[in-house]
Amino acid sequence: SDVGNASHGMVALNGDGSVTFTPDADFNGNASFNYTISDGNGGFATKTVTVNVTPVNDAPVAVAKTASTNEDTVLTITAASLLSGATDVEGDALTLSSVGNAVGGSVSRNASGDVVFTPTANFNGTARFDYTVTDGNSGFDAKTVTMNVASINDTPVAAGASLVLPQDGVVSGILEAHDVEDGASLSFSLEGGPAHGTVSITTNGGFIYSAATGYAGSDSFRYRVSDSAGATAIGEVVVGVQALSPVAPSSLDLAPGLDGTRGFTITGAAAGDQLRAAAVAGDINGDGYADVLVAAPGMDPSARSDAGAAYVVYGKVGGFGATIDLATAMNGTTGFVIPGLVAGDGLGAVTGIGDFNGDGFDDFVVAAPGADPSGRSGAGAAYLVYGKAGGFGASLDLSIGMDGAVGQLLTGAAIDDAAGSSVSALGDINGDDLADFAITAPGADPSGRAGAGAVYVVLGKAGGIPVGGQEPVKIAMGGATVIGNLTGCGGLMTGFDGIRQTNPTSAFGSGGPGWIGVDWGGAKSVSGFKVYGTADGGFDSSCWSNCSIELYGSNGNDTATATRLGGGTAVNTGGGVFSMMAGLSAGSFSHHWVKVTSGSSYTTIAEVEFYTDPDTTSLGALGANGFTIAGATAGDGLGGAISSAGDFNGDGYDDMLVSASLADPSGRIDAGATWLVYGKAGGWHDIDLATVDAVQALKITGAAGGDASGTMVSAAGDINGDGFDDIIVTSPGADPSGRSEAGVVNVLYGATFYGTTAVTAISGTIADDILTGGAENDILNGGQGRDIYAASAGKDVIDNRGHGADDDKVLFGANIAIDQLWFQQALNDLKVSVIGTTDSVTVTGWFASNSNHISTLQTADGHTLADTAVQNLVAAMVSMTPPPIGQMTLTTQQHQQLDTVIAANWH
């Protein structure tokens, strides 16, 4: 019923009748208390309970501590000082077991067991950490050390920099330094250097470095930065001055127009002229400069609709201005015009061929594929014009002197042959030191193959024109002779007397009365022949006009097959000797006999020439004999024109031109494109123009949709006398000065590099570089590190391929606002142009991979554009045309359409 009288503790009777005894704190030993029981009827009994309180370990008691240190100063606290004041009831020896939970720094124990607290860099204020004490018997107690970290002045940090600039270059920027307390109060001054240039530094860190004239190599300068408390630091700027290393860019856009320094443009005289053909003429007037041939098949001279016209522009020292307008330019001194003779002639194919007739002057050919010689509609014609000292007057009439005095007329063989659709110089293909050339006839039907076309190779000769496609075999009066090199043709069977009015004799038999024979020694395909008359044969051209020619052949079994070819072309070869030329239908024969009849009698013949078809090589299996150039895009139609370019870049190897007039560069439908493929030792393996680089080729793109740039391309010789070969690219669909399809011819001057003045390559290092171009067209090659590309004047190209994750930046110059930058996709490249100028920055391969991106574009006033937002501006501007050169702002309509997009993406 009751408990009490407890010793060494307290006792309590619980409601459920149980008893709770609580020993005194830290007591152990015998304790006791009394308890009383009752029977409910007034009877009680009291007894004593003895409690044995066994001993247990008591946790120690640690003491909170305080300490102090300075900013950025490590504090060491001995273990003994932390244990000082700690107690333990049992008197156990106490030790420091752990430290942790640091605020304002980090805490650890050193090898001696003492505590080391390291404040966070530049931290000042209250810091703390916890420590734990143990008695060695599983008793622990944790307390906190609170510290005052006192503020001290931090020395500023001079970051230094790495600059890369071209020889004779100038670069400006802001020196980098940091200070925790008073960064805004830092001041800068020059400490030392540079050794190879000059530098000026303003107190707020702005600097301008100018490389010493002509110097290329390493340089540096040091600067001092000071804070308001007098603390200083020294920084170094390492400078790399790179020697000018001209590099050809991978593309040239004709849209801005040629300015007279890179080349010039020849514009068609009238709407519809379709100025398209152009070629180097050689030096036709003997003044020491290469001349240029251009042609406009759509021109209407003297109201002769589409008679066409050709123009010769004389070369001169220093070249020309930006434009030659054919409407006013030809006066006999600058050049001359060659008008087509008849409406529909379409005089429009031209080529310079070199010295064809051995008189020491370069000659040229113009052609009219629509001409109708001798009533043969659409047979076509070509005019070989001989160069001469002083050249010609303001105009050359093709109806006068084409009998050998001024030149020579060559006419198409049959109706609709369109001979002269294309003409081309061949150099000296037969090694006689005279220039040869070729004439195409795409409408010809060789061997009955309708529209298969033909090419006629005309061999140069001092005393006349040998007519025919291949080297001739002549069967002459009084015996057989071989003219030219017939190696591989099997030889010629001799032993007959020539054609008589009686049966000829022959070692291999006779074809019958009036026949003459030749044995090739094996089956050969024969494409044509020419029959010469004799000066004393008593016949003239009227006889020839009534003649018929028969070909008799056998395959060795004397199974006769005959092909009768009527007509032919009678040509006066001089001295009253006429000749007749004819083509042959299909056939491959071991023996051939020919007879010529006039009426019912045989005709006395001086000689007969046969022309053999050449052997062929599969173009799909060139192997070591050549290489293939693959078009860049489906529908480009690569190969519409092709030409030698001479040595355009002066590296000692001839270059070549190949074009695709249907290409759509930068979305300009049918603007056309031409590739200048550079020659090199050993040649190239196959080239894919979809991936070609600036080492292999220069891409020249048409200026506007429908220009059909590259319809004709040609070497131009050295027009401006600078020692480099120049090139020609025509755009017959261009509309110069609003003259619809008047066409233009672009003449581009050769050079070791290509650009407005120069192209300089600047390459970065593995450090954080600032890459700055000069006043020319520069190529900035990035490297590792966080690089800054400082865009300068000219058309700069940035190659950041593979470094898209390096946090690089493009920095545009002063006074360029965010609404003065025009964004375009150019194939896989990003082109950012400065409105109203010819300045631009092109980032190579931007659209090919994110790894080629540059993280940020920034204007001088601090606005930034992330690489992820660039596409938004490209898409907004893709359907618009940027303002013309000289207009430095967007149009009102463009502001209305673009301001919102620009503001949303630039920050």
pLDDT of residue 683: 62
Annotate 276-297 with three-state secondary structure.
CEEEEEECCCCCCCCEEEEEEC
Give ∠ CA 678-681-682 in degrees, rounded to 5: 105
Residues 295 and 441 both lie in one domain: yes
**What is the structure's pLDDT at 282?**
83
Asked if 648 and 557 sit in the same domain, the reply is no
Measured CA distances, 780 to 208, 468, 768, 821 (Å): 20, 56, 14, 19
- Does the CA dihedral 377-380-383-384 come out positive or negative? negative
d(CA 200, CA 716): 49
Instruction: Encode burial over 299-335: b for 16+ CB neighbours within 10 A, e otherwise.
Output: bbbeebebbbbbbbbbbbeebbeebbbbeebbeeebb
Pick the range with the lowest mean pLDDT from 453-457, 466-470, 728-732, 829-833.
466-470
| Cα separation of the two ends of the chain | 87
Domain-embedded: residue 100: yes
For residue 252, tell me if it sits in a domain: no
pLDDT of residue 561: 33
Going across the sheet that includes 769-772, the strands are: 187-192, 217-226, 232-242, 161-166, 769-772, 788-790, 809-811, 856-858, 864-866
Last residue of a domain, one of 748, 779, 804: 748
Q: Could you report the per-residue pLDDT of 138-187, keeping only the tens digit for each?
A: 999 999 999 999 998 888 989 888 887 888 888 877 788 888 776 568 99
- Residue 111's domain is classified under what CATH number? 2.60.40.10
The model's pLDDT over 390-421, given as tens digits with 9 standing for 90+, comes to: 888 888 888 887 766 788 788 877 888 888 88
* CATH code (residue 195): 2.60.40.60
Whether the pLDDT of residue 264 is over 50: the answer is: yes
* 284-295 pLDDT, tens digit each: 888 888 888 888
Q: What is the pLDDT of residue 756?
A: 33
Say whether pLDDT at 500 is over 70.
no
Q: Note down the domain range covering 500.
A: 472-607
Do the Cβ atoms of 261 and 272 come closer than 8 Å? Answer: no
**Is 213 within the bounds of a domain?**
yes
Residue 134 falls inside a structural domain: yes
Q: What is residue 226's three-state secondary structure?
A: strand
Q: Both 428 and 291 in a single domain?
A: yes
Average pLDDT over residues 503-514: 36
Give the three-class secondary structure for 829.
strand
Which of 690, 725, 748 is where one domain is finished? 748
* 262 domain residue, yes or no: no
Query: What pLDDT is recorded for position 768?
Result: 59
Within a domain: residue 450?
yes
CA-nearest of 364, 368, 401, 383 to 285 is 364
For residues 740-755, average pLDDT: 75
The answer to whether residue 702 sits within a structural domain is yes
Tens of pLDDT along 688-703?
Answer: 778 777 778 888 999 8
Q: 250 with 677: CB under 8 angstroms?
A: no
Q: Give the separation between CA 726 and CA 319, rounded to whole angstroms.
A: 11
In a domain? residue 780: yes
Sign of CA dihedral 324, 329, 334, 338: positive
Q: Are residues 281 and 421 in the same domain?
A: yes
* Shared-domain flag, residues 339 and 484: no
Pair (730, 844) in one structural domain: no
Q: H-helix or E-strand containing 545? A: helix 541-545
Are the C-beta atoms of residues 578 and 547 closer than 8 Å to each other?
Answer: no
Ordered strands of the 777-781 beta sheet: 759-763, 777-781, 795-799, 840-843, 829-834, 821-826
Q: How far is CA 90 from CA 26, 27, 367, in A?
A: 9, 11, 123
Co-location of 672 and 541 in the same domain? no
Q: What is the pLDDT of residue 686?
A: 66
**Is residue 870 located within the same domain as residue 889?**
yes
122 and 224 in a single domain? The answer is: no
Mean pLDDT of the chain: 75
Are 599 and 705 found together in one domain? no
Domain count, the chain: 7
Mean pLDDT value of segment 125-145: 96
pLDDT, tens digit, for every residue of 813-858?
A: 778 899 999 999 877 889 999 998 888 888 888 998 898 899 999 9
Instruction: Give the closest residue to 201 by CA, choosing from 213, 212, 186.
Output: 186
Nearest 5°: CA angle at 467, between 462 and 473? 100
Whether 390 and 305 map to the same domain: the answer is yes
Angle at 460 between CA 456 and CA 464, to 5 degrees: 100
Report whether pLDDT(637) > 90.
Answer: no
| Residue 562 shares a structural domain with residue 493 | yes
> From the DSSP assignment, how many helices (H) and strands (E) are in the chain?
4, 65
pLDDT at 406: 82
Q: With a cut of 90, say whether residue 135 has pLDDT above it.
A: yes
Domain's final residue, options 574, 607, 640: 607
**SS3 state at 56:** coil
